[in-house]
Structure 1
């Protein structure tokens, strides 16, 4: 049976550590046939790398006017387009790095970039893609930050329709980065 694993990725060290953990511990790099001593590329499953971009909202702000009533700031749509483009480039870089990690371990992977609230989109994706396991990193938020910001992994642990594994990096991992 081929295992379908989803790993939620973002720019944090915690998510990349979780992906590394999954690749090292859940997928055997090579399957060996003991009958004839041959090896073949990993056919045990697939990793879906899911990255969620937050919804981008363009807000209208008053623009100061220069002489003769001419605005001297770029228009809101220009700023919004520039920010969207930067966000898309960042998402592509994150997905590319994660895909390369999978390729290096000879594990089949696909990246999926979604837009919206990360908590809800990850839970929806686990259900739609019918994954066997959701893996997430832990950012190690303190109690106060977690209370105000909420924890994506905590939300998913309570709402995802698949088993979830939250990978916490070792203490020395935080000190190195």
Structure 2
């Protein structure tokens, strides 16, 4: 096993897997995105480090030839919440119009997020496609990577502390243990401490 580390990256692969990935004409990379700045940092890191410098051409190819990026965003499924309606403990379920409004807002949010990500890819001259899924992000990302036979999964890390990670769970941690392809977890850049003078 060869360990590759750098810029907050943790990935392990066998030498044969690395040679197989590099020998392919086109590498299939999936980048998981959410509303966080960390996921967009991971996308930019992947484009810069896996697909080279903007405008660079891989020798012997007409374009960059590095591969395709699949941008995946997972929406949380709609839950029919129960709201207490009065002191008697009566329950209120969301009406179909409320449900439709929430779903429409989710779709608009996903479209805006993926449009921003597609523009970043376009600016770097990297081919990209989008995928919107509904469900638990941890499971859906791993399933999509496996079903689409991805060569590599890139996820951002929010840098949760031990307590938050234990209570909330970490998508990147879960994917690192369950996804079938190699994974790169991109840690956020160190925070700049500004001192007042």
Would the alpha carbon gap of residues 174 and 146 (structure 1) be closer, same or farther in structure 2, given more than 3 Å must change?
Answer: farther
How far off its partner does 1:61 sit? 4.0
Q: Deviations over 1:62-82 (max 9, x none)?
A: 657xxxxxxxx9962111111
Say how many residue pairs are matched: 163
Identify which of 48, 52, 73 aligns with 1:51.
73
Q: 2:186 maps to what in 1?
A: 167
Counting only pairs closer than 5 Å after superposition, residues 108-119 of structure 1 correspond to structure 2 as 108-119=127-138
Matched, 1:30 2:49: no
Q: Matched residues in 2 for 1:74 and 1:126: separation?
A: 35
Q: 1:21 maps to what in 2?
A: 45
Counting only pairs closer than 5 Å after superposition, residues 1-177 of structure 1 correspond to structure 2 as 1-28=25-52, 29-31=55-57, 33=59, 40-61=62-83, 76-172=95-191
The CA RMSD over aligned residues, in Å, is 2.3
- Contact 1:30–1:40 (Cα < 8 Å) also in 2: no
Would the alpha carbon gap of residues 30 and 77 (structure 1) be closer, same or farther in structure 2, given more than 3 Å must change?
Answer: same
Q: Matched residues in 2 for 1:112 and 1:90: separation?
A: 14
Structure 1 stretches of 5 or more lacking a match? Answer: 65-72
Q: Deviations over 1:45-68 (max 9, x none)?
A: 00000000011122354657xxxx
How far off its partner does 1:169 sit? 1.9
SS at match of 1:119: helix
Q: Deviations over 1:32-51 (max 9, x none)?
A: 658xxxx8432220000000
SS at match of 1:135: strand
SS at match of 2:184: strand
SS at match of 1:101: helix
SS at match of 2:191: helix
SS at match of 1:58: coil
Would the alpha carbon gap of residues 155 and 23 (structure 1) be closer, same or farther in structure 2, given more than 3 Å must change?
Answer: same
